[in-house]
Amino acid sequence: MYRYAIDNEEELKEGLTRVLIEQYAFIIDQITIPLNIDSTVHQIRKALKRIRAVLRLVRWDIGEELYQSENMRYRDLARQISKLRDYHVIISYLADIFEAEELQIPESQFIQLMSHLNGEKEIELKRLVNEQTLETLKDQMELAIKDVQSYPFDFLGPHTIRQGVTNAYSQCLNKMTKTQLKLGDQPLHELRKRVKYLLNQMNLIREVWPDFFTTYSTSLKRASDLLGDDHNRAEAINAINELPSRIISNEDKTSLTADFTQEREHIHRELWPLLGKLFTEDTKSFVKRITSYWLISRE
C-alpha cells in the first residue's frame, strides 16, 4: 500500500507525488492506529527520512528556498520524537547484552541503571502526551498532503535523477574522507545520514533495474545498519558517562565504556571494507551509470 518506489510506467512527477502522499498517509496511519509507542515512533522517523530523501532528489527543481523550508519542517518534526527513540534503543541494547551475559557489571547495578533509564523514558513519553506531539505531527501530515500538490514538479526529468544522485553520492564520498581523517562520533553520524539518504534514493528508482539496485541497496543497507549500531553504542557511552555516581559507579562506567568501545572497533572492521566497495567509483562515473539505467528503462 505504501510503496517507496517509482514505477517504470509512471512519469517522475506522478511517481514522486504518489510516493510523498503515501508516506504522509503512512505516518497518519501509524499515529491513528499505533501498535505501540516505540514501534510507532520508529516507523514515523523512518518515513520522515524517506520524505527528506525525496526532497534532496528534487532540490534543484523546486528551488533552494522551498527545499530548505520543507527540509527543516520534517527535520524538526523528527527531532520532537527523537529523544524517546534514543531511550528505547539504549534500554533495549543494554537489556540484550545483559541477558547475553556480555555486560560486565553487577546485576544490582544493572537493575538500578535500567530503572533510571526507564524513568527518564517515561518522563519523555509524558511530555509527548502533554504537548500532543503526535497529534500535531498528524495535523502536519494532513497539511502536507495538500501542500505537495503545489510543488513545482512540472519539469522533472532525467536531470532530476542526475542532480539528486550526484549530490547524495558525492556527499557520501566527502563524509567518508572526512571520517577517515578524523574518526569521531560526529563525522560518523554525518556519514550515517548521508548513506541513509543515498539508500532511500536507490530504493526510489530500483524498478529501473531491480537486480542491480536490490544488490547495491542490500549492501548500502548493511553499511547503514553498521553505522547505526556504531551510533547507538556511541550514544550509550555518552548517556552512561553523564549519569551521576549514585546511579552507576565510576568503575562500572569505565567497564561499560571499554566494552562498548571494543564493540565499535569490531563494527569498524566490517564497515570500512564494505564502504570501500560501495564507493569505488568517482561521482561522475556512478551518476552516469545510474542515469543511463533510468533512461534505458524509459525507452
The answer to whether 212 touches 234, Cβ cutoff 8 Å, is: no
Nearest to 117 by CA among 236, 258, 260, 233: 236
The answer to whether 51 touches 236, Cβ cutoff 8 Å, is: no
Nearest to 294 by CA among 209, 210, 203: 209
The burial class, CB within 10 Å (0-12 / 13-18 / 19+), for 248 is buried
CA distance 125 to 198: 32
Q: Alpha helix locations (H) across 80-157?
A: 82-99, 107-130, 133-147
- The pLDDT of residue 188: 94
Instruction: Indicate the pTM of the whole model.
Output: 0.93
CB-based contacts of 280, cutoff 8 Å, min separation 6:
none
- The pLDDT of residue 129: 92
- The pLDDT of residue 79: 95
How long, in residues, is the chain? 299
pLDDT below 50 — which residues of the chain? none
- The pLDDT of residue 105: 82
Residue-wise pLDDT tens digits, 179-228: 987 778 899 999 999 999 999 999 999 999 999 999 999 999 999 999 99
Cell numbers representing residue 187 in the block: 563525522
